[in-house]
Amino acid sequence: MTQTTSPPDRESVADRLLNGSVKRSYAPVVDIDWDAPLEDGKYFLPPHVLSLYGTPLWDSMSEAQRIELSRQESANILSVGIWFENILNQALLRHLLHNDPGSLHTRYTLTEMGDECRHMAMFGRTIERMGAKPYRLRWYQAAAVNLLPKTFRGTMLWVAALIGEEIFDATQRRVVDDPQLQPLIARLMRIHVTEEARHIQFARAGVRRRIAGTHRIDRVWVGTAQGLGGLLLARLFTNPAMYKRAGLDPREARRQALANPHFRANQRRGFADLAAFLEETGLMRRPSRAMWRRAGFL
């Protein structure tokens, strides 16, 4: 169903989000107790959202192995977050070249970029603090990542932002209060959820505004290409390197993860709100729907 209501005025949206940023923003360097010890027996992601939860491999693991898997999956997701927010900031900088530097829209865009810079620092410091190592891009992945910001323009910029933000955000909201979670990770998630809520509102308003005045060809292109995000995320969420670091056979672990109904259900829950938004705005096309389904998000 295509969105028919009038799109929000971007200056009024930016004004509201700027006021929200003044009232509730964080500086992780002081808002997280980096000296607090990790708690023995706590997970770095709750067991029920881990990719291998409920599989034969999971049943064969000791509690210590399961906690180590949670450390590696958390470090992997935080590394992906750093990559994405780096890409988004580059794309937003290009976007600002074509906007009034004195507008409220520009001011909020710069505010969001500041948030994302603090998030990248927070993610990197958390990986170090929890005793893990970041996951690095291979040379061909780095080459692709350096090209992506140049392709995120117009409607695609805001849809890409939502793909990178909403799925992570939905999962964080479900698990942030889990008693099995390390306090360090719970605090990181609470900060991220609060600030990402504004970023998601900004991107959704951008999508609505763009599709109200864009050509049908652009809607078809964006509505088709955005499905690639599902295939990419499915690969990133089952990174063989994290299984290897956790002491598992990476091929067998990834095979079981991709076939795991618990993991698929978590993917679908994380994507549900964004899928509904893409359907509502007419940006879920048959090819993209097939790609999200193949990746396990539908």
Mean pLDDT value across residues 4-13: 73
* % of the chain with per-residue pLDDT over 70: 97
Reference 242, options 123, 82, 68; nearest CA is 68
Ordered by where they begin, the domains of the chain are 10-294 (1.10.620.20)
Region 163-189: mean pLDDT is: 95
pLDDT at 5 over 90: no
Q: 20-30: per-residue pLDDT in tens?
A: 999 998 999 99
Dist CA 285 CA 287 (whole Å): 6
* pLDDT score, position 7: 61
Q: For residue 1, what pLDDT is reported?
A: 43
Residue 81 near residue 119, CB atoms below 8 Å: yes
DSSP code for 7:
P
Nearest to 163 by CA among 91, 255, 242: 91
User: Per residue in 114-127, pLDDT tens?
Assistant: 999 999 999 999 99
Q: Chain-wide mean pLDDT for the chain?
A: 93
Residue 191 above 90 pLDDT?
Answer: yes
Percentage of the chain surpassing pLDDT 90?
Answer: 84
Determine the pLDDT at residue 144: 78
**pLDDT tens digits for range 195-204:** 999 999 999 9
CB 74 within 8 A of CB 186: no
> Given this model, what pLDDT does residue 137 score?
84
Query: Which residue in this structure is represented by tokens 């951008």?
Result: 206
Query: What's the rounded mean pLDDT across residues 60-86?
Result: 96
pLDDT of residue 195: 95
pLDDT band at 215 (very low <50, low <70, confident <90, very high): confident
In angstroms, the CA 101 to CA 118 distance is 22
Q: Which of 94-103, 123-132, 143-152, 155-164 has the lowest mean pLDDT?
A: 143-152
Higher pLDDT, 73 or 137: 73
pLDDT in tens, 241-279: 999 999 999 999 999 999 999 999 999 999 999 999 999
pLDDT of residue 8: 66
For residues 190-204, one letter each, b for 16 or more C-beta atoms within 10 angstroms of the residue's C-beta and e for the rest, the string is: bbbeebbbbbbebbb
Q: Report the C-alpha gap between 255 and 104 in whole angstroms.
A: 48
pLDDT at 3 exceeding the cut of 90: no
Kindly state the tokens that stand for 124. 């990197």
